[in-house]
Amino acid sequence: MHAPLFQVDAFTTQRFRGNPAAVMLLEQYLPDTVLQAIAAENNLSETAFLVRTGEDYRIRWFTPTLEVSLCGHATLASAAVVMERLERDRRRVVFHSASGPLTAVREDDRYLMNFPARPAQSIPTPAGFADALGAEPVEVFVNVHNYMALLSSAKAVRELTPDLLAVARIDRPGIIVTAAGDAGYDCVSRYFAPAKGIAEDPVTGGAHCMLVPYWSTRLGKTEISAYQASARGGELSCRALGERVELGGQCVFYLEGQVEI
């Protein structure tokens, strides 16, 4: 069989920046072992698999090593594929996922996605955490999805070099590091998830489901301008909506073709 495949740089206006995601359209889902093998072959932080269902789409996301319950940049890339390649007249699409329905709306040259918020609670710094991180956090937060470490400055976030083997052994899938922003941004962040097969994710929508509630409360504002300071870098416009967050960004198409399975 053959299936359309797209590779899209998400949360950026420049090719070779942002976070590259693969998006594959299927008539029905293949066995999980095949989906996982395709994601490993693509070797990107996430591959999104779409199946049309009525006017909507079902969506699943796989890293090179496992399936995840939420992925922002691959959903953004999927919205661009649907509204710029598959159905050019559309301005809104709903993706049904393991995290519930996710709505994406096209607004001029960007997409706005409605995602569940992931608030967190402050905890004492766990034993060994600072050594794994390679820095002493100002404060540590946690929820069922990730740890989040507040650092002293944007410079500390940008220059961080964690021990990825130690990070992979912590009791959450990954660590978000963040600080008050520089260069005109409200906040900066990075995300390390070696346990999911992703040493450092270039730009992470799911991490901002945790970052936005925190920074919105701390800064006393609902609209947040965010920058993820990976080597590729990426920009997000964010809005706190109570139990939901709105994540906005742009996409650049890199590759379009057919996969033979």
Catalytic residues: 46
Can you tell me whether residue 93 is helix, strand or coil?
strand
- Give dist(CA 103, CA 232) in Å, integer: 26
Residue with tokens 């967190």: 120
The secondary structure element, H or E, covering residue 176 is: strand 175-180
User: Are residues 91 and 103 in contact, defined by beta-carbon separation less than 8 angstroms?
Assistant: no
CA atoms within 13 A on the CB side of 137: 25
* Dihedral of alpha carbons 218, 219, 225, 230, sign: negative
**How far is Cα 183 from Cα 187, in angstroms, rounded to an integer?**
10
Residue 76 contacts residue 251 (beta carbons within 8 Å): yes
Cβ(114)–Cβ(121) below 8 Å: no
Q: Are 252 and 14 in contact (CB under 8 A)?
A: yes
